Amino acid sequence: MQDIRTAKNYETNGVIHHQIGEKHYDACLADLWQPPEIIKKVHAWMKNPKGFFVFSGGFGIGKTYLISAMVNLWHAEGREIRYFTQQRLLTQLKSVIAQGHDSGAELERLCEVQYFFLDDFGATLQDTEFRADKMLQFIDERYNSNKPTVITTNLSEEEVEKIYSGRVASRMFSKENLVLCLSGEDHRRRSDKEVEENNSLSKKPLNVD
């Protein structure tokens, strides 16, 4: 798979980049600072994507950068994708309700897309019942369709089961899915020198063709 920089290569990407945010508008797979074995698994899944790909780990270890790099590449290739943070997805569903429409039908419509990226699953702590109901519907819709779905979360399988339900945890962390538990220090709290040194050690040439 060829890795390309996409941020300045096309002009029809405003919606995607607005959703991701300016900080990661030029996120690129070539710049990942994850361990080589993690990067290989990312490329392998992207060659034959299906089902859930779950990135689980603590704050500031590069989950959003990783998912943004995947979004940028596939969007540049013209693939049909959607990217949401959990908070923004729930906000959109509430907006639909405020307009007098069915939030369940709207979520079903959104889930029809071929590739769905959900960032920061579990980060929203408000509206517990609404959140749990809509996340269960989202997981069910994507699980039953077996369409490629990428999810990042700070939560472990046990925490997902406690906060949401055993059904959500079982489907997210099923053995048939690819689940990567990322570890490391909070990248955002480290000094520029430490980050640069880590990048130089972590980034090694990989043959991903």
pLDDT at 127: 67
At position 156, the amino acid (one-letter code) is: S
Identify whether the C-beta of residue 161 lies closer than 8 Å to the C-beta of residue 168. yes
Other CB atoms within a 10 A radius of the CB of residue 162 amount to 12
Sorting pLDDT into bands at 50, 70 and 90, what band is 21? low
137 touches 105 (CB < 8 A): no
Q: What is the pLDDT of residues 28-69, one digit of tens each?
A: 877 777 788 888 999 999 999 999 999 998 776 678 888 888
Domains of the chain are 38-202 (3.40.50.300)
Percent pLDDT > 70 in the chain is 72
Instruction: Average the pLDDT over 148-171 and give the result.
Output: 95
Q: Is residue 177 predicted with pLDDT exceeding 80?
A: yes
Q: Which helix (H) or strand (E) holds 153?
A: strand 149-153
Buried/exposed code over 13-23 (b: 16+ C-beta within 10 A; e: otherwise): beebbebbeee
Structure-model confidence comparison of residues 109 and 20, the more confident one? 109
Residue 93: per-residue pLDDT: 96
pLDDT higher than 80, residue 184: no
Instruction: Indicate if the pLDDT at residue 147 is higher than 60.
Output: yes
Q: Pick the range with the lowest mean pLDDT from 33-42, 79-88, 110-119, 161-170.
A: 33-42
- Cβ burial of 200 (10 Å; 0-12, 13-18, 19+) is exposed
Which pTM was predicted? 0.78
How far is the CA of 11 from the CAs of 7, 14, 15, 21, 58, in angstroms? 9, 7, 10, 16, 34
CA distance 74 to 94: 28
Q: What is the pLDDT of residue 203?
A: 45
- pLDDT of 10 reads 33
